[in-house]
Amino acid sequence: MILYYICFFTKRQASTMLNLILFGPPGSGKGTQSEKLIRKYGLKHLSTGDLLRSEIASQTVLGLEAKKLMDRGQLVPDEVVIGMISSALESNPQAKGFLFDGFPRTSAQAEALDRLLELKNTGINKMIAMQVSEEELVSRLLKRGMTSGRSDDNNEGVIRARIAEYHNKTAAVADYYQKFGKVVSVKGEGNVDEIFEGLCKEIDEVLVA
Ligand code: AP5
Ligand code: MG
């Protein structure tokens, strides 16, 4: 009987989680908007780019290997980022929900994420895809490259390689979630606060459903 209540409570708690994917090409504003969204909705922000940069800063073997690919604008292997996300999910058992930024980036990552969330009796509620023109993306990233110190921002060739990786490998992830009717698009150009309002409108629809 006690076991029944524990299972019931865990399941009930997990099903009330809010799990979102903020999706879009490099420079579309995922990081900028994630900061605002996690404050408003109390979610745990999981950015694989940030996790990888923290490995690089700590000069771990994983970080040094990943840096070689990141500096060329290429994706790091699926098993590396899936392992990082799996550990992050395990280390945050009390999270109200997760905001995934820059993950999943391949169909294999999307399938792995679904499996990991299923183990927690939860799943993705919505993918919000931000739409920004390629010229705007390049201009934003070159501008940030002047001050950020990010080695993948200060060379137009690398920026365009990142965008090409997005088209070749990542865009299909939206098709994967589209099959489940979970994808919505929002305009990602213009005023940061107006874009934020558009994102909140989509998230609030999940909360009232
Ligand atoms: P990652 O760190 O995820 O970078 P990214 O997706 O390529 O792009 P950014 O993080 O640079 O852009 P963003 O969309 O967050 O925009 P931001 O808010 O910063 O990945 C880096 C690398 O790590 C990858 O290339 C890959 O090698 C590896 N990696 C990461 N995840 C991986 C995965 N899952 N699988 C495999 N490899 C992985 O904004 C950009 C700039 O624009 C900022 O300066 C910002 O101030 C400005 N800005 C934002 N909004 C606006 C606005 N509305 N108007 C004007 N400027 C704006
Ligand atoms: Mg980012």
**Residue-wise pLDDT tens digits, 80-114:** 999 999 999 999 999 999 999 999 999 999 999 99
For the chain, percent of residues with pLDDT exceeding 70: 93
Q: How many CA atoms lie within 13 A of 103 on its CB side?
A: 28
Measure 81 CA to ligand 2 centroid, in angstroms. Answer: 15
Residue 25 lies in a domain: yes
Q: For 7-44, what is each residue's pLDDT tens digit?
A: 444 444 456 899 999 999 999 999 999 999 999 999 99
The Cα angle at residue 15 between residues 19 and 41, in degrees rounded to 5: 40
Q: For 118-166, what is each residue's pLDDT tens digit?
A: 999 999 999 999 999 999 999 999 999 999 888 899 899 999 999 999 9
Q: What is the pLDDT of residue 12?
A: 45
Residue 4 lies in a domain: no
Residue 187 lies in a domain: yes
Measure 18 CA to ligand 1 centroid, in angstroms. Answer: 22
What is the set of active-site residues? 30, 105, 144, 150, 162
Pocket of ligand 1 (CB under 6 A): 24, 26-32, 48-49, 52, 69-70, 73-76, 81, 102-103, 105, 109, 140, 144, 152, 162, 192, 195
Q: What is the pLDDT of residue 15?
A: 64
Q: What is the pLDDT of residue 116?
A: 98
Nearest ligand, measured from the Cα of 73: 1
Q: Tell me the residue range of the domain where 114 lies.
A: 18-43+96-200
Residue 129 lies in a domain: yes
Q: Which atom of ligand 1 is nearest to the CA of 191?
A: 53
Residue 142 lies in a domain: yes
Residue 87 lies in a domain: no
**To which residue do tokens 């899936």 refer?**
82
Q: Which atom of ligand 1 is nearest to the CA of 165?
A: 25
Give the integer Cα–Cα distance in Å for 2 and 67.
49
**To which residue do tokens 């997760």 refer?**
98
Cα-based distances in Å from 205 to 25, 31, 169, 179, 209: 24, 22, 29, 19, 6
**Edge-to-edge strand list for the sheet holding 126-131:** 44-47, 98-101, 20-23, 126-131, 183-187
Q: Give 64's pLDDT tier (boundaries 50, 70, 90).
A: very high
pLDDT, averaged across the chain: 94
Contact 30, 102 (CB under 8 A): yes
What pTM was computed for the model?
0.94
Q: What is the pLDDT of residue 9?
A: 46
Beta strands in 84-173, from DSSP E residues, in sequence order? 98-101, 126-131
* Count of C-beta atoms within a 10 Å radius of residue 85: 20
Q: Which atom of ligand 1 is nearest to the CA of 195?
A: 53
Residue 57 lies in a domain: no
How many structural domains is the chain composed of?
1
Residue 54 lies in a domain: no
Residue 149 sits in a domain whose CATH number is 3.40.50.300
